Structure 1
């Protein structure tokens, strides 16, 4: 989560609306423009709330402060779950947690943290705090367990500095052992790189989403917001296009596609010093459909609060934009998507800054559970909320 949104959450109110309709977009139209129901990703996915659990604020665990949980995944080797904290080593070194979750048809019954480890740099040291200004600080946002080796792949956004700020910190997807030891990193597409020629990701809108598909053969990542060269950010009149990239495990690009991000759902409070913030914080591959994903969209608007929506999207028949330098004015076919749920309709006690999701256990009902986590940004006005949905 961006530092500016960390400040904004202190003033956030919760106001969401919902309607279950399909959505699509073109490069020149709003992403919320209705689509022909027959052009969506397939049979409509349905979701219902099973239950939720709130982790105590700033829970002390093994010498660390639990919070800022931005990503979650299940480890098939242990049956436990792993969470990534987006603490940039400000409180403690950048780190992850393991936990046992008891999840069934009645929701999240228990959350028991079992361990924590810092992410290590190639030289074996922990990541320093940003205040040191040595260019090595990171912004952890997403974690996935490699289905083949059960090693951890984690994404961090890097940093595009202000004009007089420190050096550029490039976004990355790194590999780590279950104890946090550095094992390498994925070669990312060239257009994911931050440049000072006004190209690449905007500040705090780089990689927040990665997922494994095709039994671990394909790694898919999503940029949180539109690249600088791809046009303006969403507003109340228009959505935007963000890039989703499929890669082989070794880094070879298999395809890159334009995902249609929704327009801003409400006018921003004109008296607020903060503008709206929106993007894709998480993407999750369907286990047996390599071109199909659940995509989480998270929006915050001053005076209106959070809107969290879950979409069913596909790259099938979408234009491969990996060779297109800029999407502005280009006639491309974006990924098709359908709304699965708007969180305001689920009956949650609160709708907060949900950023991570993963598949949970199958239920006797034939549903599969979807486990989501919210990032509290370490502020008392927000919560660390773990939600279980039944997905049919």
Structure 2
């Protein structure tokens, strides 16, 4: 126990001081090839739950199987994550088999209610305006490399009567959250998020539906790192075809408080919509540590969508080694800081992968060829127009 506490403290001090390990030489760019893709049937039923909304994938270092989180608000089935066996090798991706499902639970053991059910509870208990454990919008899940527990994020929500949703009489101010559950889904603890990641009714804080899309353990499990999909309200506008934006990557001391935060440069939207009323977006949908022990290198998924054009999915190799710690900086408008650096690892369109709503990424097992495998999952939003698909890549 003492050695673990020492490792955690050392990692926290290292991150907070900005003394991050510099990335390895990047003289030779990796090559990436498509291994294969596997589609899970729309609204497949597994152990009395509807399979869909898969927004995260992670490989268990203890067992070699995978965890897949559903971003269901408990509307289709209670908030949950699945376990799966994935059969892949240097020749391709052969099969995906769901093996178990675990319901995520509140401290009292109950499952999470739908947001409408929770609003009834809210109305009955108006003092509970700021939700902590009432309901959830799950997004990303990672398996703890030390214990096998699961850390996962919830995006939160904001609604103020008289505002954009004035027909809704219930006030909702639900903070984005990071939680830890055991492998069976039982609640363990809350991880304190950064102050600037809490919802407000003012002109600061996270944008609705643009919050904690990314989560990963780093530095051998001594750090827990999260990423916001889009800029905080005070950090400037979201990306357009004319400009990109800066969102934030936050470093936590394992399951403790935030110790550092870095600006991440999101690319501009990749195309104009042919529809005059159409819109486009681009943001961070997942991140994973690039290396088991290096606390400064990550892979970040930028997922874009343009009405009338389609999707864009690009994976970037990212380094925070030279980035400025902006944890105490209220706004990123005006510059005056060094953002994380990045370079393109792969544009999925360039290797023939089917493009959809990719929301999760994880490293898979190494191949005899010396390549590393990389797996991604797409979220079908429980819509027949979209697909639940596992995509496997080989990185050499």
What is the TM-score of this pair, normalised by structure 1?
0.87
Q: Which residue of 1 aligns with 2:182?
A: 177
Contact 2:239 2:281 in 1 (8 A): no
Partner of 1:112: 97
Shift of 1:290: 1.7
Residues 1:390 and 2:394 aligned together: yes
Alignment deviations for residues 18-56 of structure 1 (CA, whole Å, 9 cap, x no partner): xxxxxxxxxxxxxxxxxxxxx996642332111111111
Q: Which moved more, 1:274-283 or 1:371-380?
A: 274-283
Partner of 1:19: none
State whether residues 41 and 338 of structure 1, in contact with CA within 8 Å, keep that contact through their aligned partners in structure 2. Answer: no
- Give the aligned partner of residue 222 of structure 1: 227
Q: Structure 1 CA distance, aligned partners of 2:96 and 2:70?
A: 16
For 2:318 and 2:188, locate their aligned partners in 1 and report how far apart those are by CA, in whole Å.
32
Report the more deviating stretch, 42-51 or 90-99.
42-51
Query: Structure 1 residues 169, 42: CA separation in 2 closer, same or farther (over 3 Å shift)?
Result: farther
Corresponding residue for 1:99? 84
Aligned position for 1:344: 349
Q: Does 1:263 align with 2:268?
A: yes
Give distance in 1, aligned partners of 2:135 and 2:347.
35
1:309 aligned to which of 314, 330, 339: 314
Match of 2:368 in 1: 364
8 Å CA contact retained: 2:71, 2:79: yes
- 2:116 counterpart SS class: helix
Question: Please, which of 42, 48, 63 is the counterpart of residue 63 of structure 1?
Answer: 48
Aligned length: 353
Q: TM-score, normalised by structure 2?
A: 0.86
- Separation in 1, partners of 2:357, 2:366: 26
- 1:204-219 to 2 correspondences below 5 Å: 204-219=209-224
SS in 1 for 2:196: helix
Which residue of the other structure, out of 197, 208, 212, is the alignment partner of 2:202? 197
CA distance in 2, matches of 1:42, 1:185: 41
Partner of 2:157: 159
Partner Cα distance (1:70, 1:76) in 2: 20
Structure 2: unaligned runs, 5 residues or longer:
1-23, 123-130
Answer 1 or 2: higher relative contact order, Cα 8 Å, separation at least 6.
1
Structure 1: runs of 5+ lacking an equivalent = 1-38
Cα distance in 2 for partners of 1:197, 1:158 equals: 16
Change (3 A) 1:307 1:109: same
The Cα shift of 1:195 comes to 1.0
Could you say which residue in structure 1 is the equivalent of 2:378? Answer: 374
In the alignment, the residues of structure 2 paired with residue 378 and residue 215 of structure 1 have an alpha-carbon distance, to the nearest angstrom, of 35
Q: Does residue 283 of the first structure (1) align with residue 316 of the second (2)? A: no
| Structure 1 match to 2:326 | 321
CA distance in 2, matches of 1:174, 1:314: 26
Determine if contact 1:198/1:228 at 8 Å carries over to the other structure.
yes
Whole-angstrom distance in 2 between the partners of 1:154 and 1:250: 11
- The equivalent residue for 1:354 is 358
Contact 1:41 1:314 (C-alpha < 8 Å) held by counterparts:
no
Q: Kindly provide the CA deviation profile for residues 112-160 of structure 1, in whole angstroms up to 9, marking residues without a partner as x.
A: 1111121101111111112222352211000000000010101010112
Distance of aligned partners of 1:321 and 1:346 in 2 relative to their CA distance in 1, 3 Å threshold: same
Supply the RMSD in Å over aligned alpha carbons: 1.7
The answer to whether the aligner puts 1:139 opposite 2:137 as a matched pair is yes
Once residues 290 and 208 of structure 1 are traced to their aligned partners in structure 2, the CA distance between those partners, rounded to angstroms, is 19
Q: Write the deviation string for residues 64-90 of structure 1: whole angstroms up to 9, x where unpaired.
A: 110100001111222211100011011
